[in-house]
Amino acid sequence: MTGQSIDAARLLGRIRTLGEIGQDADGRLIRLAASDTEKLGRDRFVAWIEGAGLQVAVDRIGNIFGIWKPDSVTDNAPLMLGSHIDTVIGAGIYDGCYGTLSGLEVIETLRAEGLTPSRPIVVAAFTNEEGVRYAPDMMGSLVYAGGLDVDTALATIGTDGTILGDELERIGYAGEHQPGFPRPHAYIELHIEQGPVLEREGIRLGAVEHLQGISWQKVVITGDANHAGTTPISMRRDAGHAAARVVTFLRDRAQASNTPTVATVGCMRFEPDVINVIPSRATFTVDLRDPDEERLREEEAALATLLDRLSAEEQVGVSVERLARFEPVKFDQNIVRLIEEAARERGLACRRMTSGAGHDAQMIARIAPSAMIFVPSIGGISHNPKEYTDDEDLVAGANILLDVVRRLATEGLPA
Amino acid sequence: MTGQSIDAARLLGRIRTLGEIGQDADGRLIRLAASDTEKLGRDRFVAWIEGAGLQVAVDRIGNIFGIWKPDSVTDNAPLMLGSHIDTVIGAGIYDGCYGTLSGLEVIETLRAEGLTPSRPIVVAAFTNEEGVRYAPDMMGSLVYAGGLDVDTALATIGTDGTILGDELERIGYAGEHQPGFPRPHAYIELHIEQGPVLEREGIRLGAVEHLQGISWQKVVITGDANHAGTTPISMRRDAGHAAARVVTFLRDRAQASNTPTVATVGCMRFEPDVINVIPSRATFTVDLRDPDEERLREEEAALATLLDRLSAEEQVGVSVERLARFEPVKFDQNIVRLIEEAARERGLACRRMTSGAGHDAQMIARIAPSAMIFVPSIGGISHNPKEYTDDEDLVAGANILLDVVRRLATEGLPA
């Protein structure tokens, strides 16, 4: 199915151009959702869409669509490609932008090829994927998929006290369309991995078949603050020790299993935090992720059982607060297979994988068959100016997207 | 050897009176070394010494001595009893004051009995035992024992910017005597346990035969801050996990041994301390204590071996800083036996024990046979307004001190 390839210089040039929009005086890239700098990025993207001869549409939550709808179209449900162009504070230039600009690049390439698609092809830039200025993250795609009411979303108050709806009006991106327009036939998102797996394994492409479910909990363990010198080990109620047991338990369990389960204790605080006082309180977070919902529940249950046991054996108090919970997403197997086929035809090593991070694709998967393509992130670094992917890999990923879209645009998804 | 007993009402009354000196507007007891409030406490103590007909002497570091030197004396080296009257911030009323006032009480009782001692009996209140305002702690007894030059100690700058020597001059307690005068024949310190052992075991008295050695270390473990979702367990360099391994290792090791070894991780900090980021840095403290120097070295070596192993297996960086190190102190076995005998004669349960906290006795032990007597601390609580010992136990402890001193004052230490 391989035809010609995308225009590498055009794609790479656009990634760099967009990456310069929103740099502050210290060279930090900051293009927060619906900010002045993001408006400049949106304007640049819209100009490229128009320059490619596509129709521009913006919906009420500010999602931008570049639509190619040739007369040949027999089915109005579009193939949708995309991602986002908002960033975190001190971002890299690839996260989101790579997938968005590659979507546009693929459409331009297919038009130039003279392809006759049986359905429209649309590139989307979803609003506020990062969630830094307005919570929750992945907001534009969540609203688009019907998971959050648009008026509620527009009323969101930002960390800077602004209201999202007002800011979208102000920057000229409060569109007319109702979210959900146009409802896609399928959705494909190309993205950097943001993890180390592809680079470490020397594989060029990931066919993403799952997106991990996430369970975030905050645990507080309480014991007795006693003198470190005068309190025998057997008489201690050491909250810090009990917290450490949780950390080693989670690690041992994840390591012993053959599953992609990951468990992380990222935050930890001891009180009173004094060298010669046994900790009376330990507060920590547990981040559990698994692509399988049943297994994620098992991990949560194992943690709960451990906490019960510690409470009894160590005579400590335990309280648990759920901070966040998202079920895993299974992407469309047909699209995943098309990605693998495309990689094989171009002679590129490809592996199936799980996305450990959240993406717009997980929201769109609620309303349309979806999947993702990953390319390597050097050192697994992301949300950081050091975020980097080789040009060759960027081009390879965009060509795989091109091949898959060409096939879907003519043949559609297998029934 | 039991004669009459101490005047319980007088001793308890003085403990309460001294405990009211230095309370702030919120009722917190704060009598920091060489402060205005400590001057009031010193003045009160000196007035009681003078009221008892004893001679008052103050040395250059501000240690106060109440000296009973009857004409009968055949040996000038005194029996010394004592402790300190400075406090921490928000102190209880017993720590230090109990031993100091009991020393005075014992001398007054023996005088009233008409005892003819063969040597002087001296009660001492050592300067700056707590070390809150000026470092190091146990300063007065350390200088007295020749472990720190008096001029160096007097030049110490406090947390409030004051100079200890100036403050002692200001409050009228910069004495003339050189520290080390008078050099004791033996030293006995009566103190609250500041730990839970006696209360939990229902034992009234502790004959303290050791004072633990202390090893304080600060450990920094460095790994990689990576995404909690996208980084497989096998590719992590998790500084927080490695730190937790140290905590559980120390606990398991102390618990499995039959020794009085205690190990405490009181301080713990993760960086960047973000829920979905693997910790790149964990900073924590290790407090190891043991009454046996060889065993304390073994514990330190075991920790070092573990850190080496973690560094290799978990590919983390490890750096260790020694914060403090004191060798264990062995108290005088003859005095310990006299304490046990006195308890037996009064029908009081007594156990040999180790002091987990530091005391002036550990300094005086450098220059004279020394030991300590402990009475129960309810809940093991100390350095806290909730510090509490039953009156009955306070009186019992002072009577044991009385009996031991009576015997030593006439018979001297066994050769």
A111 and A152 co-located in one domain: yes
What is the predicted pLDDT for the residue at A239?
Answer: 98
Same domain, B277 and B312: yes
- How far apart CA B158 and CA A10 sit, in angstroms, is 67
Using pLDDT thresholds of 50, 70 and 90, give the confidence band for residue A171.
very high
Q: Closest Cα to residue B22, out of B35, B11, B31?
A: B31
**Residues in chain B within 8 Å Cβ distance of A214:** 229
What lies within 8 Å, CB to CB, of A402 at 6+ separation is A3, A5, A6, A105, A106, A109, A110
Closest alpha carbon within chain A to B238: A264
**pLDDT (tens digit, 9 = 90+) per residue, B179-238?**
988 889 999 999 999 999 999 999 999 999 999 999 999 999 999 998 899 999 999 999
Give the residue carrying structure tokens 């103590």. Answer: B45
Closest residue to A227, CB basis, from B229, B282, B356: B356
Is B55 domain-assigned? yes
Distance from C-alpha of A229 to C-alpha of A234, rounded to nearest angstrom: 13
The answer to whether B414 and B338 are in contact (CB under 8 A) is no
Q: Do residue A193 and residue A228 come from a single domain? A: no
Asked if pLDDT for residue B415 goes beyond 80, the answer is no
- Is residue A406 within 8 A of residue A110, CB to CB? The reply is yes
For A:226-245, CB contacts with B below 8 A are: 226-235, 238, 240-241, 243-245
Q: Per-residue pLDDT for A395 more than 90?
A: yes
The token duo for A205 is: 């492409």
Work out whether strand A281-290 and strand A268-271 pair parallel, antiparallel, or are unpaired.
Answer: antiparallel
B130 domain residue, yes or no: yes
Residue A216 pLDDT = 93
Q: Are B358 and B138 in contact (CB under 8 A)?
A: yes
Given A295, A326, A357, the domain boundary residue is A326
Question: Mean pLDDT over residues A47-59, rounded?
Answer: 97
Question: Which is nearest to A5 in space by CA: A346, A411, A337, A377?
Answer: A346
Are both B147 and B292 inside the same structural domain?
no
Give the 3-state secondary structure of residue A1: coil
Q: What is the pLDDT of residue B3?
A: 61
Nearest to B380 among A200, A231, A276 (CB): A231
Q: Judge if A353 and A267 occupy the same domain.
A: no
Query: Would you say residue B1 lies in a domain?
Result: no
**Tens digits of residue pLDDT in B104-123:** 999 999 999 999 999 999 99
Same domain, B368 and B273: no
CB–CB contact A265 B240 (8 Å) = yes
Residue B234 CB coordination number (10 Å): 9
Q: Is B291 on the interface with A (CB under 8 A)?
A: no
Domain boundary pick from B273, B305, B326 = B326
Closest CB to A230 among B193, B254, B274: B193
Give me the pLDDT at residue B26, please: 84
pLDDT for B338: 97
List of chain A residues whose C-beta atoms are within 8 Å of the C-beta of residue B240: 247, 265-266, 268
Residue A282, phi then psi, degrees to nearest 5: -130, 125
- pLDDT, position B274: 87
Is the model's pLDDT at B150 over the cut of 80?
Answer: yes
> What is the mean predicted confidence (pLDDT) over A335-343?
98
Whether A380 sits inside 8 A of B356 (CB atoms) is no
Residues A280 and A338 occupy one common structural domain? no
Percent of chain B with pLDDT strictly greater than 70: 99
ipTM > 0.90 for the complex: no
Q: Which residue of A has its CA nearest to B381?
A: A226
How, if at all, do strands A268-271 and B29-30 pair? Answer: unpaired
- What would the DSSP string read from start to end of B204-260? SEEEEEEE-EEEEEEEEEE----BTTTS-GGG---HHHHHHHHHHHHHHHHHHSSS-
pLDDT (tens digit per residue) in B377-401: 999 988 888 999 999 999 999 999 9
Specify the pLDDT at position A72.
Answer: 82
Q: Is A3 within a domain? A: no
Residues A163 and A296 placed together within one structural domain of the fold: no
Q: Which of B59, B94, B99 is nearest to B82 (CA)?
A: B99
CATH number of the domain bearing residue A165:
3.40.630.10
Q: DSSP label at B340?
A: H
Q: Is residue B2 part of a domain?
A: no
Q: Give the pLDDT mean for A371-395.
A: 95
Same domain, B126 and B164: yes
CA–CA distance, A109 with A3 (Å, rounded to integer): 10
Neighbours of B150 (CB within 10 A): 17
Is the CB of residue A276 less than 8 Å away from at least one CB of chain B? yes
Chain A CB within 8 Å of residue B287 CB: yes
Predicted pLDDT at B1: 44
Total domains in the fold of chain A: 2
The beta-carbon neighbor of A229 closest among B235, B269, B289 is B289
Instruction: Give the confidence band of A1 by pLDDT, cuts at 50, 70, 90.
Output: very low
User: Could you tell me the CA-to-CA distances from B367 to A3, A123, A298, B186, B189 in Å, in that order?
Assistant: 94, 86, 64, 9, 15
Residues of A in contact with B211 (CB under 8 A): none
Decide if A307 contacts A320 (C-beta within 8 A): yes
Q: What is the pLDDT of residue A192?
A: 98
Q: Give residue A278's domain range.
A: 213-326
Phi and psi torsions of B222, nearest 5° = -120, 135
**How far is B185 from chain A, CA to nearest CA, in Å?**
29
**Distance in Å from the first CA to the final CA of chain B:** 19
Q: Which of A257-266, A342-351, B34-43 has the lowest mean pLDDT?
A: A257-266
Distance CA B217, CA B325 (A): 9
Whether B356 and A234 lie within 8 Å, measured CB to CB:
no
Q: Which residues pair with B324 in a beta bridge?
A: B216
Question: Is A185 annotated for ligand binding?
Answer: no
Question: How confident is the model at residue A238, as a pLDDT?
Answer: 98
Q: What pLDDT, on a 0 to 100 scale, did the predictor assign at position A140?
A: 98
**A242-279 pLDDT, tens per residue?**
999 999 999 999 999 988 899 999 999 999 998 988 99
Residue B233 lies in a domain: yes
Residue B354: inside a domain: yes
Q: What is the pLDDT of residues B268-301, one digit of tens each?
A: 999 999 898 899 999 999 999 999 999 999 999 9
Grade residue A3 by pLDDT with cuts at 50, 70 and 90: low
- Tell me what pLDDT residue B173 has: 98
What pairing do the DSSP bridges indicate for beta strands A213-222 and A281-290?
Answer: antiparallel
Residue A335, phi-psi category: left (phi > 0), alpha (psi -120 to 50), beta (remainder): alpha
Residues 42-71 of A with CB under 8 A from B: none
- pLDDT tens, position by position, B303-339: 999 999 999 999 999 999 998 898 999 999 999 999 9
Among B326, B355, B384, which residue terminates a domain? B326
Q: Residue range A140-162: average pLDDT?
A: 96
Same domain, B69 and B202: yes
Count CB-CB contacts under 10 A for residue B413: 15
Q: Which of B216, B264, B280, B283 to mutate to test the interface with A (most CBs of A within 10 A)?
A: B264
pLDDT of residue B180: 87
Q: Which residues contact B392 (CB under 8 A, 6 or more apart)?
A: none
- The reply to whether B191 and B86 lie within a common domain is yes
**Are A239 and A131 found together in one domain?**
no
B3 found inside a domain = no
Q: Does B372 touch chain A (CB under 8 A)?
A: no
**Annotation-wise, does A227 bind a ligand?**
no
- For residue B285, the chain A residues in CB contact (below 8 A) are 275
The CATH number of whichever domain residue B237 belongs to comes to 3.30.70.360
- The nearest CA of chain B is from the CA of A217 a distance in Å of 9
